[in-house]
Amino acid sequence: MIFDTNTSVYAVFGDPVSHSLSPVMHNRAFESTGYKGVYLAFGVKNIKNALISVITLGIKGASITIPHKMEVMKYLDKADDVALQIGAVNTIINIDGCLKGYNSDGLGAVKALSEKTVIKGKNIAIIGAGGAARAVGFCIMKEGGRITVINRSTEKGERLAGDLSSDFRPLNDIGKMKFDILINTTPVGMTPHTDVMPIERRYIEKGMVVMDIVYNPLKTRLLKEAKMAGCVTIDGVSMFVHQGAFQFELWTGIKAPVDVMKNAVMNAL
């Protein structure tokens, strides 16, 4: 593909962001559909300044990742209803200098879970209280799951639990509870720190469904331990691809080549 002044530029902003496979996924989707676009990764500490750059440089859209998903909302012109209810944004579109935010994380998580299990009526533990936890929790709640927020920080955990009208328990209490589904929404276990996991092995019980939204590495230590314990495991690739497909369609107006995007990510991993 030839890049010139007519090429549409897209980006992912995060800290860290070197591990991100969003460029691989989206650039392969652009190539596959013949869309004249390019997607780049930027390590960003100041999200406000990054958004100024979006407008100044005419960047058409951006993915927002850790740790900016909640703070970024302060600097947007608009946000859709789902993003407002969640209180976090992972997708931005730039329409003539007007920045509008969306959230596709929850949608991706629900689709990934639904491929392996039923959500309605299940007791579900969500580890974490950041932007991803908000999105996942909100959408699972809409599907009828019973949520407990588990977090190291009581203040953040209780705030999210209150927003979701769900229970909160500190991380140290996880051994006292029983769950059907456990979801890690924190970056614990992500490359390059692949030898750690968000909970101890002894709290993973046979028969549970264990999902990790981390997709790099494909099999985190949490998922490896859960597999050995006899659990159904769900890696972060399915959620990642589904949320990326939403972004692609929002930005381009073209049907996302989901299989092409998933293969690009799997090959990279």
Q: Round to whole Å and give the CA distance between 197 and 209.
A: 16
User: In the annotation, is 227 catalytic?
Assistant: no
| Residue 141, helix vs strand vs coil | helix
The angle, 0 to 180 degrees and rounded to 10, between the axes of the packed helices 237-252 and 22-33 is 50
Dihedral of CA atoms 36, 213, 136, 26 in degrees, nearest 10, equals: 0
Which is nearest to 12 in space by CA: 261, 248, 208? 248
Instruction: Say if CB 110 and CB 143 are below 8 A apart.
Output: yes
- Please report the DSSP string for 36-62 in residue order: -EEEEEEE-S-HHHHHHHHHHHT--EE
End-to-end CA, the chain:
24
- Residue 268, Cα to own-chain centre: how many angstroms? 18
Q: Round to whole Å and give the CA distance between 269 and 257.
A: 19
Structure tokens given for 264: 């690009």
- Residue of 60, 69, 122, 262 marked catalytic: 69
Q: Round to whole Å and give the CA distance between 258 and 40.
A: 20
| Residue 175, helix vs strand vs coil | helix
Q: Supply the residues annotated as catalytic.
A: 69
